[in-house]
Amino acid sequence: MMKCLLRKSVFFGSTLVALVFLCSGVTFSQGLDKEISMEENIPTNEGLTVKYIATDLNGADRALGQADPYKLELQIQDLAFPNGGGSVQEVEVRGFHNGETIFFGIKWNDASKNDRAIAHAQFRDAVGLMFPLETVKEISPEKPFSPRMGDRGKPVNIWHWKADWEKELNVNGGKEHMEDEYPNMFTDFDFNPDPIRFHKETYESTPLMAGGISAESLLSQANRGRSVEDLNAVGFGTLTSQEHQDVNGKGSWSNGKWDVVIYRPLETSDENDVKFVPGMSTFFNMAVWNGNEGDRNGQKSVSIRWRPLKIETVK
């Protein structure tokens, strides 16, 4: 129990109290259906091999084409409320590394391109990769490890590519605004109703009028310089963005298909990042969000079993 609390204090800082509750709530998972629990704790026999290919970022697309494809079947997220997703039934992933950086190429069918999330009923397309944070040699009903969002005391590292973040990399100013969705909108601040200087300074002040920017929220920041968010979790309701972002990526949509590449150095100095060493074996899992179907947060298409992941040695 103490290990669980200490690990979470690294991830979540001021939200430790809420996570202590999660750690102490030992009955949370006891009501899960036993048959489902056993299936989810039996990884698939076949997995993904991350090939060693001596190339750099400029040659990443060509190298991924040389790697063997691995397909994951997806289903509706049916364990945590609100349930949802299921419209994306399959995702293909390939992987390679060059001894310094690891790359994952991900493709899936999606008839619509959803790369804006401004209006209240507007949701993005996205894809997530998830890895056990620490070294895991075995996952079984006797040694369980949730393939959905990790477990208490068993943290995961999640890389979340977002279509709207990708779009904003090429938008003037580095972020889309409400006016981009509603070009003819009217606001109370289109003119100055009070000539007093203090009033003008108030409604033009970022700290006073833009709480997300003032709080340095990654979701509110412009010019992030990346389309992938680096996160950690220890179960449902604990997803937390890292203070230091190390993962990057690029994505494009064409002819009803997303083609996304996510990459990161094999090892980083951040203890909240999964470490990849050539020759090692671990596990991974994935999820896909279809914005056109209203997918967001826990409403997503998921794989319910861990997949073996092998990092090929340097030749």
Look at residue 29 in the predicted model and tell me its pLDDT.
39
140/237 same-domain check? yes
Residues 81 and 138 both lie in one domain: yes
Q: Is residue 303 part of a domain?
A: yes
Let me know whether 208 and 260 are in one domain: no
Report if residue 18 sits inside a domain: no
Which residues does 181 contact at the CB level (< 8 Å), separation at least 6? 116, 118, 119, 122
- Mean pLDDT score across all residues of the chain: 84
Of 2-6, 22-26, 118-122, 226-230, give the range with the top mean pLDDT. Answer: 226-230
Q: How many residues does the chain have?
A: 315
- Is residue 145 assigned to a domain? yes
Mark whether 64 and 198 lie in a shared domain: no
Q: Which residues contact 217 (CB under 8 A, 6 or more apart)?
A: none
Same domain, 257 and 164: yes
Read off the pLDDT of residues 57-102 as tens digits, 9 standing for 90 and up. Answer: 999 999 999 999 999 999 999 998 889 999 999 999 999 999 999 9
Tell whether 83 and 120 lie within a shared domain: yes
**Residue ending a domain, choose from 177, 201, 222:** 222
> Is pLDDT above 60 for 23?
no
Do 278 and 157 belong together in one domain?
yes
Q: To the nearest 10°, report the CA torsion of 60, 61, 63, 64.
A: 110
> What pLDDT, on a 0 to 100 scale, did the predictor assign at position 208?
61
Whether 207 and 143 map to the same domain: the answer is: no
41 within domain boundaries: no
Owning domain of residue 206: 192-222
Q: What is the CATH number of the domain that holds 65?
A: 2.60.40.1190
* 159 and 196, same domain (yes or no): no
Q: Tokens 């200087």: give the residue.
A: 197
* Mean pLDDT calculated for residue range 203-221: 68
| Judgement on whether residues 94 and 137 belong to the same structural domain of the protein | yes
Report whether pLDDT(172) > 50. yes
Structure token digits, residue 106: 């991900």
Is residue 85 situated within a structural domain? yes
C-alpha angle with apex 306: 103 to 106, nearest 5 degrees? 30
Q: CB of 99 within 8 A of CB of 80?
A: no
> pLDDT confidence of 123, banded at 50, 70, 90?
very high
Q: Is residue 129 part of a domain?
A: yes
User: Is 183 inside a domain boundary?
Assistant: no
Number of domains in the chain: 2
Where is average pLDDT lowest: 178-192, 252-266, 287-301? Answer: 178-192
The lowest-confidence range among 45-59, 100-114, 168-182 is 168-182
Q: Are residues 138 and 199 in the same domain?
A: no
The DSSP string of 129-198 is: EEEESS-----SSSS---TTT-BTTB-EEEEEEEHHHHHHTTSTTSS--HHHH-TT---TTSS-S---HH
- CA dihedral (212, 218, 219, 225) positive or negative: positive
Residue where a domain stops, chosen among 202, 222, 242: 222
Residue 306 has pLDDT above 70, yes or no: yes
Judgement on whether residues 56 and 130 belong to the same structural domain of the protein: yes
Cα gap 227→134, rounded to integer Å: 25
Q: Is residue 30 part of a domain?
A: no
More confident residue, 216 or 303: 303
